[in-house]
Amino acid sequence: MKEFAITITPRLYETDALGHINNATIAAWFEVVRVRFLESLVDRDPGILKQWILASVQIDFIGETFYGVDVTAKIVEATIGNTSFTLHTEMFQGDKQTVRGKAVLVHLDLASKSPARIPDDLRAKLAEL
């Protein structure tokens, strides 16, 4: 897969008393990388985001993430289904992996509010990765 990565700069208010990044913040960062990834596939068309719902998310905390050091968040795999795809994400501070996770996104028919087949053009872009 061609790598997709963004850099996140931790903010002081995202920490706990020990300087660790709060677990809820990590979940929010996973959303940031998912949204930016989707936007990169559709030339930042804001309407595309309304066509996806988050069906499942799993986050594994491997090590501590701290304030003061940028975090690199990477999409490392995208598994395509009929109406959904699974994104596998990893986060690093320096050379140390601190978090990994996956999220299942379901493509939605906005009129019927039910799952819809992923469009062929988007499917092709995902397959290229």
Contacts of 118 (CB under 8 A, 6+ apart): 80, 81, 82, 83, 84, 85, 107, 126
How much is the pTM?
A: 0.88
Q: Report the DSSP pairing between strands 52-61 and 96-109.
A: antiparallel
d(CA 36, CA 41): 9
**Domains of the chain by range and CATH?**
4-113 (3.10.129.10)
- Could you report the average pLDDT of every consecutive run of 10 residues in the chain (129 residues)? 88 91 96 91 72 95 96 95 95 97 95 93 80
Q: What is the pLDDT of residue 42?
A: 77
Q: What is the pLDDT of residue 44?
A: 59
Q: What is the pLDDT of residue 123?
A: 85
